[in-house]
Structure 1
């Protein structure tokens, strides 16, 4: 007999769990200089027109949409004391479908060690020929986590180390282009019990081609990192349907990616997770908990995924 679906969290074990202090000896990616000349003659990406440089929307008419990497970590080394992430395969399959619909070249990886995660992302960032002809880069990481950290199947790594290969001259083919990361993982061990809202009162009466110039942009620019939950809190995942965040993200993408900019879509994702999900578990102290995603944007323009011709 199949057990009923329940909600669980993507975190390291509660206090005192085996392997909770595990540390992985992984060195950060070492790349080029942080200065970012925006010209191929000065070590940057392709030469673009000043109209494109100062536009309010990213250029999205390259021959390719870009690469989308999905890292789906489900089963972990016993020493870590981490449970199997039931439901994550549904998340991975859903994202794979959405990204393919959007025109991405999707690469799926299951159960990667920390070193393999670094290798996969390093390879994706260094494929200059592919990236130069692409609109953007997309990455989804589905795993256990802690604040600022995600787990490979053998240990933990800081998210900022995984982003390093894509910064500045480390990734010349994506200079000035969106680099989009979506992370389904816990960021702590707090529960969000939510707060009651009187909807009627809350609504109240509120009304419803030039000369080529060399430019520099910050190495940290043009990133978006969307976490499934704010720092300090558990992130919820259903054993049958997948994580709340990826369920909402996939649904909003399916309905709006052709017509709505990314940040507006992510605001809709926040609303869907906040309003439509509440935990149901076999443990009373974990019931009726809430969650809100956290979006960190260093984008400098709007991201609009117009369909490829």
Structure 2
């Protein structure tokens, strides 16, 4: 859909939710090929008329350039021409529903007995001017009382676990495979230091994803080719009975040439595997049993060798948190061409595929910058991610939780000076809620 049409729908969403009867336009949108029957069934499952209208408008924005004019035609055909005219005019946002007019209460005079108030006096000589008595509203019978708003008073249904327009299906047991690659001890020839504290990260995430009902597989100290082998083996598995797949990589990292996902992670022998090749193993073309299912990658590694000293802000804007006294980085200088993995060395790792869908890559740091790790407590990123998942997975979706992680890590300082900013490349199409039980 064109950006200007999306903007019109967004500006008038309140009008549409208030006034649109979606049941009238379903057949027209189906006949014009804008929605499929499955999509219409999903919208109907949203609940009330208002909820269906809200979801229809959101989904309409994703349905291509024909969707907006087709929607206007459907509105006119079903007697909702006023809505069509509003949208076609380009975006007035005044509410179509007439405002409620509050009745004005006018006091009525109540005259006294005419025999007793001649000459403006009562029989006792008091002033007999008419008294103003305000009207009191009468109690309406029950059958004419206004009915409560169905959207406001209807109990909220529990969060849907099945696959829907709004969220991924995440109710398989186990939910999926979680592969953790934990590189700690590096060959002397690699010139890479031991990653003390990484075992702490690994233990935390192993327990965390087990609690989220994943089958967790941990591999330690893998060389570059072994990393590729484990990813290739994971891609060749049958994931048909699972709803999701997770890959966690804890290693040294560096910059690398890329056209999608930045960065690369090192094997313990030194050479690196670009993140974009790591994701390619599990995309919909190379792993058919994970098609349309979320594939999550968590990368605790440096994105380069730059150290971020941040910028000064008001003390009211952040709550600074000191890092550990033994903070280290996971960086080495920018990799040379000899360190980079050839894009064409394996059929499972070709880089000429379209940008994959249903993939999220969460990085511990901004591309080009170092990632900090306490040698005793583990990395800032993993420690924060583990705690946020523990506290919020019951109620929040993954992207929301990652924003919390970003915010909290950004307020930590190493040696009272250096900062770190995590971030994500998000190609998920729906909300993702982990399986989590209240403790």
Cα distance in structure 1, aligned partners of 2:378 and 2:431? 29
Name which of 232, 239, 248 aligns with 1:140: 248
The question of 1:249 aligning with 2:385 is answered yes
Is residue 259–residue 305 contact of structure 1 (8 Å, CA) maintained in 2?
Answer: no
Counterpart in the other structure of 1:101: 211
Cα deviation per residue 1:180-214 (whole Å; 9 max; x = unaligned)? Answer: 00001111111111122214489xxxxxxxxxxxx
Give the Å deviation of 1:306.
3.4
- 1:232 to 1:105, Cα distance in 2 relative to 1, 3 A: same
Is residue 58–residue 302 contact of structure 1 (8 Å, CA) maintained in 2?
Answer: yes
Equivalent residue runs for 1:172-191 within 5 Å: 172-191=288-307
Equivalent residue runs for 1:43-54 within 5 Å: 50=39, 51=42
Cα deviation per residue 1:249-308 (whole Å; 9 max; x = unaligned)? Answer: 111011111211000000000011011x2113xxxxxx5200000211000000011348
- 1:245 to 1:170, Cα distance in 2 relative to 1, 3 A: same
Is residue 167–residue 219 contact of structure 1 (8 Å, CA) maintained in 2?
Answer: no
Equivalent residue runs for 1:40-79 within 5 Å: 50=39, 51=42, 55-79=165-189
Cα distance in structure 1, aligned partners of 2:200 and 2:317? 39
Cα distance in structure 2, aligned partners of 1:200 and 1:88? 33
Task: Compute the RMSD of aligned alpha carbons.
Answer: 2.0
Structure 1 gaps of 5+ residues are 1-48, 203-217, 281-286
Cα deviation per residue 1:209-239 (whole Å; 9 max; x = unaligned)? Answer: xxxxxxxxx6600000001100111110000
- 1:266 to 1:201, Cα distance in 2 relative to 1, 3 A: closer
- 1:108 to 1:274, Cα distance in 2 relative to 1, 3 A: same
Q: Secondary structure at the match of 1:108?
A: strand
The question of 1:227 aligning with 2:227 is answered no
Give the Å deviation of 1:53.
7.0
The question of 1:153 aligning with 2:153 is answered no
Counterpart in the other structure of 2:427: 298
Equivalent residue runs for 1:233-272 within 5 Å: 233-272=369-408
- 1:109 to 1:201, Cα distance in 2 relative to 1, 3 A: closer
Q: Secondary structure at the match of 1:268?
A: helix
Cα distance in structure 1, aligned partners of 2:281 and 2:188? 30
More strand per residue: 1
Cα deviation per residue 1:17-71 (whole Å; 9 max; x = unaligned)? Answer: xxxxxxxxxxxxxxxxxxxxxxxxxxxxxxxx65477611111123431000100
Equivalent residue runs for 1:263-282 within 5 Å: 263-275=399-411, 277-280=412-415
TM-score between the two structures when normalised by the length of structure 1 = 0.73
TM-score between the two structures when normalised by the length of structure 2 = 0.52
Cα distance in structure 2, aligned partners of 1:81 and 1:170? 34
| Larger Rg over CA atoms | 2
- 1:95 to 1:63, Cα distance in 2 relative to 1, 3 A: closer
Counterpart in the other structure of 1:208: none
The question of 1:193 aligning with 2:312 is answered no
- 1:89 to 1:254, Cα distance in 2 relative to 1, 3 A: same
Cα distance in structure 1, aligned partners of 2:171 and 2:194? 41
Cα distance in structure 2, aligned partners of 1:111 and 1:63? 29
Structure 2 gaps of 5+ residues are 1-37, 43-161, 256-262, 319-353
Is residue 168–residue 219 contact of structure 1 (8 Å, CA) maintained in 2?
Answer: no
Counterpart in the other structure of 2:102: none
Is residue 259–residue 306 contact of structure 1 (8 Å, CA) maintained in 2?
Answer: no
Cα distance in structure 1, aligned partners of 2:171 and 2:195? 37
Cα distance in structure 2, aligned partners of 1:279 and 1:266? 21
Give the Å deviation of 1:126.
1.4
Cα distance in structure 1, aligned partners of 2:409 and 2:173? 34
Give the Å deviation of 1:121.
1.2
